Chain A
Amino acid sequence: MSLPLAVLALPFVSFVLLAVVPPLRRAGRVAGGVSIAATAVAFVCALATWQGHLEGEQLVPWIPGDAGPMATVGLLVDPITNAMLVLVTLVSLLIQIYSLAYLSDEPSPALGRYYTYQSLFAFSMLGLVLSPTFLQMFIFWELVGLCSYLLIGFWYQRPAAARAAVKAFWITKLGDLGFVTGIVMLWAATGTFEFSTLFRMGAAGQLPAESLGLILFLIYLGAVGKSAQFPLHVWLPDAMEGPTPVSALIHAATMVTAGVFMVTRAQPLFALVPDLVWLIGTVGAFTALLAASMACVEHDIKRVLAYSTVSQLGYMMAAAGAGAADAGFFHLLTHGVFKALLFLAAGSVIHAVGTNDMFRMGRLWHGLPHTGIVFIVGTLALAGVWPLAGFFSKESILAAVWGAGRTGTFAVLALTAFLTAFYMFRAVFLTFFGHAHAGGHPHEAPWPMRGPLWILAILTLVLGLAFLASPPPAVEAHHGPGWLGPFSLGLAAAGLALAWAMYQQRAIAPASFSRVLAPIDFAARRRYGIDALYLGLYKGLILGFSKLIGLIDRYLVDGLVNVFSALSLRSGDRLRRIQSGQVHDYVYGVAFGVLLVVVFAHWWAR
Chain B
Amino acid sequence: MTTSPFVLEVGLGILMLCVFAASLVARGEDRRHIGWLATAGVAVLAVVSMTLGPSGPAFGGAFVQDGLAVFAKRLFLWATAIGLLGGMSQDRLPFLRRSGEYHLLMLASLLGMFVLASARDIILLFVGFELMSMPLYALSGFVKRDEMAVEAALKFFVVGSVSSAVMAYGLSFVYGAARTTSLAGVAKAFAAGDPFVVLGLLAAFAGFGFKIAAFPFHMWVPDTYEAASTPFVAWLSVTPKAAGFVALFRLYFEGVGDRVVFWVPIAAALATITIVAGNLMALPQQNAKRLLAYSGIAHIGYMLVGLAAASSNGTAMVLFYLVAYVFGNMGAFLVVEAVGRSERSEHLSAFRGLAQRSPLLALAMLLFLLSLGGIPFVAGFWAKLYVFWAAAQQGLYWLVLVGAVLTVVALFYYLVVAKRMYIEPPDRPDPVALPGSLAVAVTLCVLGIVVIGVWPKPVVMAALRVAAPLF
User: Which residues of A does B touch, CB under 8 Å?
Assistant: 20, 61-64, 69, 565, 568-569, 571-573, 575-576, 578-579, 581, 583, 585-587, 589-594, 596-598, 600-601, 603-605
Q: Is B282 an interface residue (CB 8 A)?
A: yes
Asked whether B166 lies within 8 Å of A576 as measured between CB atoms, the reply is no
Asked whether A62 lies within 8 Å of B457 as measured between CB atoms, the reply is yes
| 10 tightest Cβ-Cβ pairs between the two chains A and B | A604-B265, A572-B283, A586-B219, A572-B280, A589-B216, A593-B216, A589-B219, A594-B206, A583-B155, A586-B159
- Interface size on B, as a range, is 35 or more
Q: Is B158 an interface residue (CB 8 A)?
A: yes
User: When chains A and B are docked, how far (Å) is the Cα of A579 from the Cα of B162?
Assistant: 18
- Interface residue from B202, B265, B270, B461 paired with A598 (Cβ < 8 Å): B202
CB-based nearest A residue for B277? A575
Query: A residues within 8 A CB of B277?
Result: 575
CB-based nearest A residue for B269? A600
A-B contact pairs, 18 of them (CB 8 A): A63-B457, A64-B457, A568-B409, A572-B282, A573-B283, A576-B281, A583-B155, A586-B155, A586-B159, A586-B219, A589-B159, A589-B216, A590-B166, A596-B270, A597-B206, A598-B202, A601-B265, A604-B266
Majority secondary structure of chain B interface residues (helix, strand, loop or mixed)? helix
Query: A residues within 8 A CB of B231?
Result: none
Given the known inter-chain contacts A575-B280, A576-B281, A587-B159, please indicate yes or no for A597 contacting B210, CB distance below 8 A.
Answer: no
CB distance from A24 to the nearest CB of B (A): 14
User: When chains A and B are docked, how far (Å) is the Cα of A437 from the Cα of B199?
Assistant: 99
User: When chains A and B are docked, how far (Å) is the Cα of A63 from the Cα of B382?
Assistant: 9
Given the known inter-chain contacts A64-B456, A575-B277, please indicate yes or no for A597 contacting B284, CB distance below 8 A.
Answer: no
As a 0/1 sequence over residues 188 to 221 of chain B, the CB contacts with chain A under 8 angstroms (1 = contact) are 0000000000110011011001100011111110
Asked whether A579 lies within 8 Å of B222 as measured between CB atoms, the reply is yes
Query: A residues within 8 A CB of B154?
Result: 583
Query: B residues within 8 A CB of A597?
Result: 202, 205-206, 209, 266, 270
Query: B residues within 8 A CB of A571?
Result: 280
As a 0/1 sequence over residues 267 to 289 of chain B, the CB contacts with chain A under 8 angstroms (1 = contact) are 00110000001001111100000
Asked whether A62 lies within 8 Å of B455 as measured between CB atoms, the reply is yes
Q: Is B262 an interface residue (CB 8 A)?
A: yes
Asked whether A569 lies within 8 Å of B284 as measured between CB atoms, the reply is yes
Near A by CB (< 8 A), chain B positions 38-82 give none
Q: Is B230 an interface residue (CB 8 A)?
A: no
Query: A residues within 8 A CB of B412?
Result: 565
Q: Is B163 an interface residue (CB 8 A)?
A: yes
CB-based nearest A residue for B457? A64
Counting chain A CB atoms within 10 Å of each CB, the highest count among B262, B283, B412 belongs to B283
User: When chains A and B are docked, how far (Å) is the Cα of A67 from the Cα of B154?
Assistant: 51
As a 0/1 sequence over residues 431 to 471 of chain B, the CB contacts with chain A under 8 angstroms (1 = contact) are 00000000000000000000000011100110000000000
Given the known inter-chain contacts A600-B269, A605-B265, please indicate yes or no for A583 contacting B158, CB distance below 8 A.
Answer: yes
User: When chains A and B are docked, how far (Å) is the Cα of A61 from the Cα of B154?
Assistant: 50
Q: Is B223 an interface residue (CB 8 A)?
A: yes
User: When chains A and B are docked, how far (Å) is the Cα of A583 from the Cα of B152?
Assistant: 9
Query: B residues within 8 A CB of A579?
Result: 219, 222-223, 281
Given the known inter-chain contacts A63-B456, A597-B205, A600-B266, please indicate yes or no for A569 contacting B219, CB distance below 8 A.
Answer: no
User: When chains A and B are docked, how far (Å) is the Cα of A590 from the Cα of B218?
Assistant: 8
Query: B residues within 8 A CB of A603?
Result: 265
Near A by CB (< 8 A), chain B positions 141-186 give 154-155, 158-159, 162-163, 166
CB distance from A570 to the nearest CB of B (A): 9
User: When chains A and B are docked, how far (Å) is the Cα of A87 from the Cα of B463?
Assistant: 44
Asked whether A592 lies within 8 Å of B216 as measured between CB atoms, the reply is yes
CB distance from A83 to the nearest CB of B (A): 29
Asked whether B284 lies within 8 Å of A601 as measured between CB atoms, the reply is no
Asked whether B281 lies within 8 Å of A581 as measured between CB atoms, the reply is no
User: When chains A and B are docked, how far (Å) is the Cα of A568 from the Cα of B409?
Assistant: 8
Asked whether B281 lies within 8 Å of A590 as measured between CB atoms, the reply is no
Counting chain B CB atoms within 10 Å of each CB, the highest count among A62, A69, A578, A594 belongs to A594
User: When chains A and B are docked, how far (Å) is the Cα of A579 from the Cα of B223?
Assistant: 9
CB-based nearest B residue for A574? B280
Counting chain A CB atoms within 10 Å of each CB, the highest count among B158, B220, B284, B412 belongs to B284
User: When chains A and B are docked, how far (Å) is the Cα of A568 from the Cα of B294?
Assistant: 14
CB distance from B298 to the nearest CB of A (A): 11
Query: A residues within 8 A CB of B460?
Result: 64
CB distance from B76 to the nearest CB of A (A): 24
CB-based nearest A residue for B282? A572
Query: A residues within 8 A CB of B281?
Result: 572, 575-576, 579
Asked whether B158 lies within 8 Å of A587 as measured between CB atoms, the reply is yes
Given the known inter-chain contacts A63-B457, A575-B281, A597-B205, please indicate yes or no for A583 contacting B159, CB distance below 8 A.
Answer: yes
CB-based nearest B residue for A571? B280
Near A by CB (< 8 A), chain B positions 389-414 give 409, 412
- Interface residue from A62, A585, A600, A605 paired with B219 (Cβ < 8 Å): A585
Asked whether B203 lies within 8 Å of A594 as measured between CB atoms, the reply is yes
Asked whether A590 lies within 8 Å of B457 as measured between CB atoms, the reply is no
Asked whether B198 lies within 8 Å of A601 as measured between CB atoms, the reply is yes
Q: Told that A569-B284, A578-B219, A596-B270 touch, could you supply 9 new A-B pairs with CB distance under 8 A?
A: A568-B280, A586-B219, A590-B163, A590-B210, A594-B202, A596-B216, A598-B202, A601-B262, A604-B266
Near A by CB (< 8 A), chain B positions 76-108 give none
User: When chains A and B are docked, how far (Å) is the Cα of A61 from the Cα of B158?
Assistant: 49
Query: B residues within 8 A CB of A20?
Result: 360
CB distance from A606 to the nearest CB of B (A): 8
Asked whether B265 lies within 8 Å of A600 as measured between CB atoms, the reply is yes
Query: A residues within 8 A CB of B166?
Result: 590, 594
Asked whether B219 lies within 8 Å of A594 as measured between CB atoms, the reply is no
User: When chains A and B are docked, how far (Å) is the Cα of A594 from the Cα of B166?
Assistant: 9
Asked whether B199 lies within 8 Å of A598 as measured between CB atoms, the reply is yes
Given the known inter-chain contacts A568-B280, A568-B283, A605-B265, please indicate yes or no for A586 contacting B222, CB distance below 8 A.
Answer: no
Query: B residues within 8 A CB of A604?
Result: 265-266, 269
User: When chains A and B are docked, how far (Å) is the Cα of A136 from the Cα of B211?
Assistant: 43
Given the known inter-chain contacts A62-B457, A64-B461, A601-B266, please indicate yes or no for A576 contacting B284, CB distance below 8 A.
Answer: yes
Near A by CB (< 8 A), chain B positions 222-249 give 222-223
User: When chains A and B are docked, how far (Å) is the Cα of A160 from the Cα of B154?
Assistant: 65
User: When chains A and B are docked, how far (Å) is the Cα of A594 from the Cα of B165?
Assistant: 12
CB-based nearest A residue for B359? A22
CB distance from A561 to the nearest CB of B (A): 9
Query: A residues within 8 A CB of B206?
Result: 590, 593-594, 597
Asked whether A590 lies within 8 Å of B280 as measured between CB atoms, the reply is no
Query: B residues within 8 A CB of A64?
Result: 456-457, 460-461
Query: A residues within 8 A CB of B269?
Result: 596, 600, 604
CB distance from B362 to the nearest CB of A (A): 14
User: When chains A and B are docked, how far (Å) is the Cα of A598 from the Cα of B460?
Assistant: 33
- Interface residue from A572, A578, A581, A583 paired with B284 (Cβ < 8 Å): A572
As a 0/1 sequence over residues 249 to 271 of chain B, the CB contacts with chain A under 8 angstroms (1 = contact) are 00000000000001001100110
Query: B residues within 8 A CB of A578?
Result: 219
CB distance from A408 to the nearest CB of B (A): 47
